[in-house]
Every structure is written in C-alpha cells, then in structure tokens.
Chain A
Amino acid sequence: MTPDGSILAGEGLHKTYGRTTALDGADFSVHPGEVVAVMGPSGSGKSTLLHCLAGIVRPDSGSVRYDGRELTTLPDAERSALRRTDFGFVFQFGQLVPELTCLENVALPLRLNGTKRKIAEATAREWLARLEADDIHGKRPGEISGGQGQRVAVARALAGRPRVLFADEPTGALDSLNGERVLTLLTDAARDTSAAVVLVTHEPRVAAYSDREITVRDGRVRESLAGL
C-alpha cells in the first residue's frame, strides 16, 4: 500500500456520527486508471469512506490527498468545485433529477461546470450512445427501466471526464445481467479515460470487476495482500 503515484489517498481517517464510529483510522489509495473495490458488510463504513475521499464529508481527523492537494482543509466551495470538475459519481438509485430528460441529466454536471448547453448536450449524447442508451434522450427518468437509468447515471458520471469516479453500489438495484453490462461499460470507459474508480460494493461479483479490493471492517481498512 504505497501512495506513491496514487491520485487519491486517504490516511488515518476517523469519522463519527454522534456515537457511532463510521471510520476508525482508515487508509486508502488509488492510482490513475485503477479500479479499487471497497467491500465490507453494511454499516462497516464503506460509504463514509467514499464520502470522505470524495470531499463530500470532512473527516474528524486524518488526511485526504488528491493530486497533491489536501482535501480536508479545503473550504467547502473549493471541494464542491473539485467534485464538479474532477470527480464523477454513480449511486445506487434516486440520483437522476426526475424532471429533467435523460439527456439533460447527463449534461447536468457539464452545465454545472459552466459548459454551454449545446456543447454539454452534444457530449451527453455521445456518452449515452457509448453506454448503449441512445434511444432514451428525451425520456424522463420515470419513463425508463432501472438498467437504463443506471446507464444514464454512469454516462452522467463519465461525461465530465472525471479523474476519479466514485460508484456506491452502482448495480445494487439491478438484476445480474443488467448489472454486469453496466459494470463492464463503466470499467471499460473508466480504463479508457484512465480514470481511477472507487467502487463501493458488498457484492463479490461486482468487486470482481476491480483490479484490487479492500475490505472495510469496523471502520478500518484491511487490505489483502494475497495474490500480489
């Protein structure tokens, strides 16, 4: 576990919510183009680790370094800006804005970055095609299936060309065939763009799409050295 050459690394992360300790000295690092699965039982702190690494949540102590910058001391606005420009996100469900069309949903992060609408939507169109979802541009999230919705979400996460893609149970709500297809598309696209992927999952079959996995247990990371 050497952070050398890593694009994102967390060290000694602690985070408590009220009385519950979510993270208790967790370490983590990921290299550009690497897909790391974060596994562990529910409640082990996987999601909290992701939130800390992505700068969504500020850890109580410890450091998160992204591309040479310390995230934990960055003001909220700058962390938000970083999430807009450098990170991408896919969640399990409920992430698409129900009022916007699929195309607009994919274009949303680009537009948040200040990209012109036309350009953003053209890019969004390409990504939807790449994720085999080019027939649902004008539809709203309520009118499409879960698999399609997840493709839209992945397209949205990748459209901004993030350097780190955070995926929290991205296939949790999908059947295995759809889930595997989405995972294949996601990891292929991420590798093509050399984006690092932090893939939070409790499913071994999902974790199998990673290059490496770590396990979070009781707020600590157990990185298995086997197979190295």
Chain B
Amino acid sequence: MTTLHAARSTGSRSGRPPHGSPGGPAAWLRDLAMGARFAVTGGREGWFRTALSAIGVGIGVAVLLLACSAPTVLDAWHGREKARENLGQMHEPRASDRTVRYAQADTTFHGEPVRGRLVRPDGAHPPVPPGIAHLPGPGEMVVSPALRALLAAPDSAPLRARLDYKVVGTIGDSGLLGPQELTFVAWLDDRSAGEAYRISRFGKIFDPQPPSARLVLLTVLACVVLLMPVVVFIGTAVRFGGDRREARLAALRLVGADIPTTRRIAAGEAVVGAALGLAAGLLIFLAGRQAVGAVTLWGVNVFPADVVPSPGLAALVAVLVPAASVLVTLFAQRAVTAEPLGVVRNRPVRRRRLGWRLALPLTGLALLLSSAWAPQAPDGWFPVVRLALGAALLLLGVTALLPWLVEAVVARLRGGPVAWQLTVRRLQLDSGAAHRAVSGITVAVAGALALHMVFTTYQAGYAQAYEESASRPVIQLSGSTASWGQARDALTTLRRTSGVTWAHGTVRAPAGREGDRGTRDADGYRSVQTAMVTVGDCAELRRKARIGSCRDGDVFVAKDRGGRATDPAFVRPGVRLNLNPPEGYEETGPPRPWTVPDTARRVQTVRHPGEDLPGDVLATPGALPTGRLQAPTTELLVGYDKARESDAVERIRTVAFRVNPGLRELSAVDNPHDRQYDGLRTALFLGSVIVLLLIGAGLIVSTVEQLRERRRLLSVLDAFGTRRATMGWSLLWQTAIPVALGLALAVTAGLGLGAVLLTLSGAEVHLDGAVIAGVAGSAGGVVLLVTLLSLPPLWRMMRPDGLRTE
C-alpha cells in the first residue's frame, strides 16, 4: 500500500506518468532514489530486513577490511622487527664510543617465549634500539609492559629469580611488535661475554629471502578459502527479504512501471543496503580492531593501530561491495519477472542443469590436483593463480551445485507424513528461497572445514614432534662458556636443583692443524679444516667414549669419526694442533699450538641420539685447560622428573639463565602450538556459528514473509482441523532439508578441499570429528531456532482472521 502510494505521489509530482517514460539520467536518478527510499521506509519489518542485510554485509566488509590490512600489518610488524634488531655485521666494527656488545638471551616461561637481549656499550654514545630511552646499566634491564605484568604475577617467582635485574624502564611501543610481546633488554655481564658480538647500530640489514613458493601458495589458498565465503555471504545478505521486495516491484508494475524501471529501483534499494553495510562494516572493523591487541596467532601479535586497510584495497572494497550487491540483485531479477499482478518465477518449468554446475567444482579440483602432481612449482604467478583459481572454483562450485542438489534430491522424495509431504512438494515447486539462504552456510562451512582440516593436520604434526621430544624428559642447553669450571659449577648447581635427576655436560672447541692457513672464498671468508676438542672430567668423558681407566691429565683420541674431522690422519696422538684456527672474515690472531700427547689412547666413541657429537679429541681439564681454547662452547643435558617437582623445567631454565643468560634451550618440552591451535579452533567455530546465526536470521525473515503470503491458506488448513504440530513440523522440514543438504555438500567439499591442500603440502590427512560434529550440531541448532522463532507467527497466521474476506 505504501508502495502504491509512493509511486503515485511521485507520478503526480512530475505531472506525467511516473514510469515507462524513456529513461534519461533524471529518470535513472529518480528510480534509484525511489529504490533507496524503499530501503529505509517500510515500517519496523522493513527496517529489520534492511538492518539484517546491513549487518550481514557489514560482517563481510569487516572481514574484507581486515584482509586488506594484512599488508599494512605485516609491513609495520616487520618494520619494527627490522628496526630494533641486528643479527651481526659482516665485518664486526672496532670498539669505539659508538659501539655496543650485543647478545641474545631468549628464554621460555611456561610455554611463553620471552625475547631477551643483552647489551654492554663500549663507550658513552652507544646506539639505542627504538622504544628505549637509555641502555640499561650493570645489573639493570628495561622490559616490555607485558613482561612487567608477567613478572609481577604471583606464580612468576621462577621468572623473577631468572631475570634477576633491576627494572629501570619500559620499552615503548616502537620497540615492540605487539602489545602482548614479552621482551627485555638487560646488561651484558661476563657470564655471557662469549655470546656477544659487537655492533655499531640497530636496524637489520639483509636481503629478504623470497618466501618459498609453497608458503605463498598456502597463503593465497587461505585467503581464497577465507574470503570466498565472505563474498558469497555478502551476496546472500544483500538478498535477505528478497521475496517482499519482489512483491513490491510487482505492485509498481501495476501502476505502470516498466521492467527496466523496476530493475533500477531494485538496484537503488540494493545500493542503500550495501552502503549501510559498508558503514556497519567500518564500525565492526573499528570495534574489532581494538580486540586485535589481545590476540596472538602464530606468535604474531600486533597493535590495533597497525591494522589499517591499505588504501587501494579499501577503496576497492568500497566500490566492489555496492557494485556486487547491485549485480547480485539484478542477476536475481533475471530469473524473476515482476508482473503487475504478482511475481512470476521462471523456474519450475526449467529443470536445473547439472552440466556447468558440476563443471565448476571439477575444474577447480582439476586445477588443484594438477598443482599437486606438477613438479615442484617454480616461482611465478602461474602456480599461484592456478591454485587460487582452483580453490575459488571449487568453493563457487559448491554454491552452484547446491540448487541442483536440492532440486534433484527433493524431486526424488516421496510419501511420508503430511508435514513432510507439504514441505517436499513446496520445495519441489520452488526451492529458490531455500537454497539461496543456505548457500552462504555451505561455502562458509566448507571453507572453515577446509582450513580447519589443514590446521588440524599441522597440529597433529607438531603434536607428534613434541610428543617425541617430550617422551625424553631432558632439557638440552647450549651456548658459549667461559671455562670448564663454569660448566662444572653449572652441573653441580643443576644436580642440586629440585626435580633434576641427572646432568651432564662438556666444553668443546674447534682446533685446526698447526700451520694450516686455510683458504678464503670470494666473500673473503677464511675456512680451515678443524677437529672437535671436547673437554670434561673423567665422568663426563666416559659418557662420550669407552675410555676405560681415566685420571685427570689423560687425553683420548677417537678411533672412529667422533667429531668433525674428515681426515682420519688429521687427529692422532702426537699431532700438533692450532687451538685458534684461522676461521672467519677477520684475522684471528696468533696461533695457539697444542700437542696431543703421544700417550693419548685411541678409544671407541659413544653417540647419543639427539646430542652433539662426542668429539675427535677428548681431554681432561688437567691435560688441556679450557682457557687456551678459542670460543669454547658448552652443551648441558639435564634430566628431570616432573613427578618429583612439577615446575622442574622452569627451575632448570632459571638455573641455566643464572649461569649464563646466553644459554639456548635446544629441546622442545612444551608445545606452544596447542594453545594457538585451540584459539584458532575456537575462532573458526565462533565464525561458523556467527555466520549460521545470521543466515538463521535471514531464514526467519523469509519464513515469516512466506507465512504472511500464505495467511489465508494457513487459516483454511486450520479450519480443516490441521494440527499445529503438523504445520510446525512442515516448517521444520522446510528449513532442515536445505540446511542438511547444504551441510552435506559443505562437509564433502570442505574435506575434499582440505585433503587436496594437505596433499599439496605433503602432509598426512587428519580429520577432526569433533569439529565436524560441532558444525553440524550448530547448524541443527540454527534450524531448530529458526523453526521455534517462526512458530509464534505461524500460529498467529493460523487464526481464522485470514478466512475473512475483505
């Protein structure tokens, strides 16, 4: 009624028949404006429909904006990482007023990685990394806000003991990758002197490695898989409440609008919906961005301010979303003719063809498989495009296949109780509205499942790796050491530590042949053949080789290949070695000769899997004082028993850090991926549920509209004495059948796509039944919800009011 009135009033204003006149630009604008007005007028229900569309489109737009921000985020992230780091300069600068000695002191606390850096300025004007006002002095450190908070936490006692520095400052945002990053910069003392290298500035300079082709492919695929559902969902959201609009267009035709005019009006309405959607999307994006700081994914945590859509891409979204919504609307109109006396769907006559619908996903699958079978993909755009296109086609194919599937399955359904019959017949006559709403579910769920499957499998890989390392309750630490004495003290302390069952360790260093000057390569790097010298007391050496009797002052030589030496003649009793082999870019100073005693016995070495090599020469400290070694390193192995001390791992780390902050932990005793994975799973699940709920809302709208259209029929059925339950069941089936079919298709396609992706990355296929069940369960829940919420209107429409003839 409003529509008719609106149309008439427009007509009277222009003083001539409102429509059917040849469309100049003015007519175009007028029609678009009228459509726009329809989008925002139309009472409470009209608003509800428009709002629903806007929210649906808005969620899609927000996701798109987030995706558009990825380049900016990574730029900012990498930029800050580059600015604060220096992995060592090719030619180490000379000590000066403007240099600093620098070392890494990373540690782990309860599975959280903590980035640590140690500094000791050579003079009064050292370089300072971003975010820090002054470098810390002796015994001091500056910390990130997150680390400061962690240190203050009640159960952080082992960490406080470990980072036994005085906190003198906070690292600013410019020195952090994200708000949650745990990092500190502390004074470099003698304990880690061996780890340090000299630098003259901060700011990493290196040629970025081109990402591996495989990684690019997977990234592109993930983008496609993530964004396709968004695109399809936007397409669905634009058409929420479409039946009602079509009826309105029919009313416009009655007052004389021609078909192009109705199309323009529909386009105007769609544009407004899309524009509201863009606005909603921006709001959702801005709100969601605030939450970004709290999220850590794959060790990536960023500041909300970093999440800025790249302008070009954002503009593209702003243009493409309204354009796409208009296109979707017009495309939908092609199959529908709004005749003056009602909407004619040109559908039931035509059977849907399987051909091209099947061709889409099959082409996609073929593209994906050809990628899998092709020899290792070379760099370049072709494989990337092929994969992206393959995944996109597969997912699009699912959307295209759904209408055919619904039609084909429904056409074969027969019999059943009355409620079932009513539904089946209805779907047979026109399944358009049903699958339109559900196709969004299908693609979203298929995409989510595929992604989820990939992550599940990676997760399974990690889990396996960690299980192996965790099956040996051993922590392996390695780093530079000052002397055997330092290593021995560390072992003594560790053995006294609660929860530690045993501890072993030796000191090792390379040794060259006396007089060997080595050769320089084109870069100027000098290399020389070296043997490995291992120093430890008799007990430690006994673990490395079958040495028999041993006293301090003894030396042993490996009978077999115990170390790095490739020439068996190189290391033998009586040979003269150079303990300061001329290796590296710089001059290393005078040679330090040492003679392997003639009395050294040849022994069989013992190798322990997962540990460093035993060594070519094994010497007791009495025979070879470690002070003579050049750049000695130590390797410590610590066994523990969590049953005796639940926090044994943290205690060991603390002890090791206190011995030498520069010691690196080589083992992997806790799996940080578990939590990330759980988070991802939750996110995917939540995303799926939100999409399902939104689509459920769309379904409710279309269901209620359809009920209203059939008000009279419902009253008649009620007069017949039709049970309410019968109609309720019919309503349930009407939602359940398309959703079930859509889900079946989604699960098939999702698992198929996931399997292909996994095959591509050479991983084993792994299924997570719980998630599939979860998604299926929530879809069932949505079906129930839609039905439950549609019941009150159904019962209201079944009242005899509908029987009254007006």
Question: Chain A residues in contact with chain B, CB under 8 A?
Answer: 42, 47, 51, 54, 56-57, 77, 79-85, 87, 89, 91-92, 94-95, 97-101, 104, 108-109, 111-112, 117, 140, 166, 168-169, 172
In the complex, whether B595 has a CB less than 8 A from a CB of chain A is: no
List residues of B (723-767) whose CB comes within 8 Å of A's CBs.
723, 726
Given contacts A99-B425, A100-B422, contact A80 B415 (CB under 8 A): no
Binds A, one of B69-77, B437-445, B499-507, B711-719: B711-719
A206 to chain B, nearest CB (A): 15
Given contacts A99-B426, A112-B418, contact A47 B805 (CB under 8 A): yes
Beta-carbon contact of A169 and B720 below 8 Å: no
With a CB–CB cut-off of 8 A, which chain A residues contact B800? 51, 56-57
Closest to A117 in B: B415
With A and B bound together, what is the CA distance between A84 and B726 in angstroms? Answer: 13
Contact of B429 among A56, A57, A99 (CB under 8 A): A99
Beta-carbon contact of B425 and A84 below 8 Å: no
With a CB–CB cut-off of 8 A, which chain B residues contact A109? 720-721
In the complex, whether B428 has a CB less than 8 A from a CB of chain A is: yes
Given contacts A100-B425, A117-B415, contact A56 B719 (CB under 8 A): yes
Contact of B425 among A104, A112, A117 (CB under 8 A): A104
* Extra inter-chain contacts (6) besides given A47-B804, A104-B425, A166-B719, CB under 8 Å: A51-B803, A57-B800, A92-B805, A95-B713, A109-B720, A111-B418
With a CB–CB cut-off of 8 A, which chain A residues contact B421? 100, 104, 111
Beta-carbon contact of A83 and B719 below 8 Å: yes
B644 to chain A, nearest CB (A): 70
With A and B bound together, what is the CA distance between A82 and B426 in angstroms? Answer: 27
With a CB–CB cut-off of 8 A, which chain B residues contact A104? 421, 425
Beta-carbon contact of A99 and B422 below 8 Å: yes
B426 to chain A, nearest CB (A): 4
In the complex, whether B722 has a CB less than 8 A from a CB of chain A is: yes
Contact of A82 among B712, B716, B721 (CB under 8 A): B721
30 contacts between A and B (CB under 8 A): A47-B804, A47-B805, A51-B800, A56-B718, A57-B800, A77-B723, A80-B718, A80-B723, A82-B721, A84-B720, A87-B721, A91-B716, A91-B803, A95-B713, A95-B716, A97-B425, A97-B717, A98-B429, A99-B425, A99-B426, A99-B428, A99-B429, A100-B425, A109-B720, A111-B418, A112-B418, A112-B726, A140-B429, A168-B803, A169-B805
Beta-carbon contact of A94 and B712 below 8 Å: yes
With a CB–CB cut-off of 8 A, which chain B residues contact A94? 712-713, 716
Contact of B721 among A42, A84, A97, A117 (CB under 8 A): A84
B425 to chain A, nearest CB (A): 4
With a CB–CB cut-off of 8 A, which chain B residues contact A117? 415
Q: Which of A82, A100, A140 has the most CB of B within 10 A?
A: A100
With a CB–CB cut-off of 8 A, which chain A residues contact B721? 79-85, 87, 109, 112
Closest to B710 in A: A98
With A and B bound together, what is the CA distance between A99 and B719 in angstroms? Answer: 19
With A and B bound together, what is the CA distance between A157 and B425 in angstroms? Answer: 21
Closest to A109 in B: B720
With A and B bound together, what is the CA distance between A92 and B805 in angstroms? Answer: 9
Closest to A79 in B: B721
With A and B bound together, what is the CA distance between A112 and B712 in angstroms? Answer: 19
How many residues on B have C-beta within 8 angstroms of the other chain's C-beta atoms?
23
B307 to chain A, nearest CB (A): 50
With A and B bound together, what is the CA distance between A47 and B415 in angstroms? Answer: 35
Beta-carbon contact of A112 and B429 below 8 Å: no
B252 to chain A, nearest CB (A): 23
With a CB–CB cut-off of 8 A, which chain A residues contact B425? 97, 99-101, 104
List residues of B (415-432) whose CB comes within 8 Å of A's CBs.
415, 418, 421-422, 425-426, 428-429
Interchain residue pairs A-B with the least CB separation, the first 9 = A83-B721, A84-B721, A99-B425, A99-B426, A80-B721, A95-B716, A94-B712, A99-B429, A56-B800
With A and B bound together, what is the CA distance between A125 and B12 in angstroms? Answer: 55
With a CB–CB cut-off of 8 A, which chain A residues contact B723? 77, 80, 112
B interface, over-half SS: helix
Given contacts A57-B800, A94-B712, contact A89 B426 (CB under 8 A): no
With A and B bound together, what is the CA distance between A94 and B718 in angstroms? Answer: 13
B715 to chain A, nearest CB (A): 8
For B135-157 the 0/1 string (1 means CB < 8 A from A) is 00000000000000000000000
With A and B bound together, what is the CA distance between A104 and B417 in angstroms? Answer: 12
With A and B bound together, what is the CA distance between A82 and B722 in angstroms? Answer: 10
Q: Which of B429, B723, B800 has the most CB of A within 10 A?
A: B800
With A and B bound together, what is the CA distance between A100 and B720 in angstroms? Answer: 16
B497 to chain A, nearest CB (A): 77
With a CB–CB cut-off of 8 A, which chain B residues contact A89? 716, 719-720
With A and B bound together, what is the CA distance between A82 and B418 in angstroms? Answer: 18
A131 to chain B, nearest CB (A): 18
Closest to B429 in A: A99
A51 to chain B, nearest CB (A): 5
List residues of B (130-179) whose CB comes within 8 Å of A's CBs.
none
Closest to B805 in A: A92
Q: Which of B712, B720, B722, B800 has the most CB of A within 10 A?
A: B720
With a CB–CB cut-off of 8 A, which chain A residues contact B726? 112
List residues of B (83-101) whose CB comes within 8 Å of A's CBs.
none
With A and B bound together, what is the CA distance between A57 and B718 in angstroms? Answer: 11
Closest to A120 in B: B418
List residues of B (748-801) whose CB comes within 8 Å of A's CBs.
800
With A and B bound together, what is the CA distance between A87 and B800 in angstroms? Answer: 16
Closest to B425 in A: A99
Closest to B417 in A: A111
B677 to chain A, nearest CB (A): 47
Beta-carbon contact of B716 and A108 below 8 Å: no
With a CB–CB cut-off of 8 A, which chain A residues contact B719? 51, 54, 56, 83, 89, 91, 166
With a CB–CB cut-off of 8 A, which chain A residues contact B804? 47
With A and B bound together, what is the CA distance between A213 and B712 in angstroms? Answer: 27
B720 to chain A, nearest CB (A): 6
With a CB–CB cut-off of 8 A, which chain B residues contact A42? 805
With a CB–CB cut-off of 8 A, which chain A residues contact B712? 94-95
B430 to chain A, nearest CB (A): 8
List residues of B (395-417) whose CB comes within 8 Å of A's CBs.
415
A101 to chain B, nearest CB (A): 8
A165 to chain B, nearest CB (A): 12
Beta-carbon contact of B803 and A47 below 8 Å: yes
With A and B bound together, what is the CA distance between A104 and B428 in angstroms? Answer: 14
With A and B bound together, what is the CA distance between A38 and B717 in angstroms? Answer: 23
A44 to chain B, nearest CB (A): 13
Closest to B426 in A: A99
B681 to chain A, nearest CB (A): 42
With A and B bound together, what is the CA distance between A111 and B422 in angstroms? Answer: 12
A77 to chain B, nearest CB (A): 8
B20 to chain A, nearest CB (A): 28
B748 to chain A, nearest CB (A): 29
With A and B bound together, what is the CA distance between A77 and B718 in angstroms? Answer: 11
With a CB–CB cut-off of 8 A, which chain A residues contact B713? 94-95, 97-98
Closest to A95 in B: B716
With A and B bound together, what is the CA distance between A83 and B726 in angstroms? Answer: 15
Closest to A50 in B: B803
With A and B bound together, what is the CA distance between A93 and B765 in angstroms? Answer: 59
Contact of B803 among A56, A101, A111 (CB under 8 A): A56
With a CB–CB cut-off of 8 A, which chain B residues contact A84? 720-722
A95 to chain B, nearest CB (A): 4
With A and B bound together, what is the CA distance between A169 and B803 in angstroms? Answer: 11
With a CB–CB cut-off of 8 A, which chain A residues contact B717? 97
With a CB–CB cut-off of 8 A, which chain B residues contact A166? 719
Beta-carbon contact of B422 and A97 below 8 Å: yes
With A and B bound together, what is the CA distance between A140 and B804 in angstroms? Answer: 25
With a CB–CB cut-off of 8 A, which chain B residues contact A83? 719-721
B529 to chain A, nearest CB (A): 88
With A and B bound together, what is the CA distance between A198 and B805 in angstroms? Answer: 17
With A and B bound together, what is the CA distance between A85 and B800 in angstroms? Answer: 19
With A and B bound together, what is the CA distance between A179 and B256 in angstroms? Answer: 34
With a CB–CB cut-off of 8 A, which chain B residues contact A77? 723
Closest to A88 in B: B720
